[in-house]
Amino acid sequence: MSVITSLNCETHEKLNAQSIVQSEILVNKLLDEIVIRFSSLIADVEDHKVDENILKNEIGKLVDEQKGHFNLEAIKKSLFNTIYGYGDLQQYIDDPEISDIDASTFDYFTIKRKGVIEEIGFKFESESAFERFCKLLIIRNGGVINEIDNHCRVSDVKNHLRINVCISPRNTSGTSLTIRKHLQKSLSLDDLQALSMINRDSRALIDKMVYSKSSILICGKGGAGKTTLLRGIIEASHPHERILICESDVELMPKRKNCISQSIKKMHLGGKKITLNDLIRDGLTMSLDSYCIGELTGKEAWEFIKAGNTDHRILGTIHANNSEDTLLRLLTLIETETRLGENTLRLLIHESIQYIIYIADFKVVEIAELSVSGNVPAIRHIYRYKRLKEVAL
């Protein structure tokens, strides 16, 4: 190769590299502008309320206004794919063995594979790029996130994901992201037994609860498998049982026909705000057999307990360490909603809920039965799992 040819090749490579960098800078600049100008349109396209071509046209106009020697069509395509894709994280979302994808900062990512946490060495090129990516995830799934509303949790129903993002000023360490993956298909109780979440003894007790239409509250820490078991119980319920499912984030997604699934509506979506309390209260007029609350975290706990005292079956999950802690957590949640004394509230809880199931690390560890005898609430452990020996009491 001649010296002149070699120099030309080097110059060409430098120009190509420079062009790529300039294109990336332009894409990032345009993404920031799109997030600000078209946040509602992005959400409406994702929710199939608006044809995606309308957004593509708006992006096209924005790109066509840019000056410089760019491949404008490639930039348009890159922008649209960035807005509606998961980029290099898609491989982890597609992996059925991975249940969680977590980022504490833009350059530290972990996954949970079969219950085991792993570092994956993945990172974004900068904090600003990561924050932009997280904002797009929130916006396209109908959420709002900015300096004032600096934390948001949304559901990607299409991909069965729960997405949790925190940004500055709430986070002083930078943007953080949590993605919880839900199974595309509900696991049956048979499936859960095969996976050792339940064994023969705990399965027999759960079958009895389902058959007798008992009210059940499932407790455990985040990621323990509460929602997975609740989905299995819902699917195992009698086909004629009419169940209202109320959720803050869409996670249960039942396949059985006789379910009505509802979710809250936040103020930024326009019109009247709808809370879990509203969904439960309105359900009293809907000729229901059962109420299911995806997760009890606040005021809705009182409506949940009251529904259980109106001859309805109630199902739900709550964060707690064991059966006794579940009762204390329920008391804490409902005491501020009523003037009733603690003893009366304990009676109401024990009359509303028949069983508490405690799950840890994707295994049913404990089942407790609640009852009332002579106006005295009682709790009896009818099942405990032991690592070396499993005993049904």
CA 130 to the chain's CA centroid:
20
The residue among 389 and 151 whose pLDDT is bigger is 151
Question: Edge-to-edge strand order for the sheet containing 216-220?
Answer: 259-263, 243-247, 290-296, 313-319, 216-220, 355-359, 364-373, 376-385, 390-392
Residue carrying structure tokens 């990621």 = 223
Distance CA 142, CA 159 (A): 15
Fold of 87-181: Beta-Lactamase (3.30.450)
201-253 pLDDT, tens digit each = 999 999 999 999 999 999 999 888 999 999 999 999 999 999 999 988 888 88
Tell whether pTM > 0.85: no
Confidence band for 356, pLDDT divided at 50, 70 and 90: very high
pLDDT at 232: 95
Q: What average pLDDT does the structure give for the chain?
A: 85
**Cα-based distances in Å from 233 to 188, 191, 254, 381, 384:** 8, 12, 10, 20, 19
**The CATH number, out of the four listed (1.10.10.10, 3.30.200.20, 3.40.50.300, 3.40.50.720), of the domain defined by the range 189-392:** 3.40.50.300
3 state DSSP class of 26: helix
Average pLDDT over residues 344-360: 95
Confidence band for 375, pLDDT divided at 50, 70 and 90: confident
Least confident of 11-20, 131-140, 319-328, 365-374: 11-20
Q: Where are the domains of the chain?
A: 3-84, 87-181, 189-392
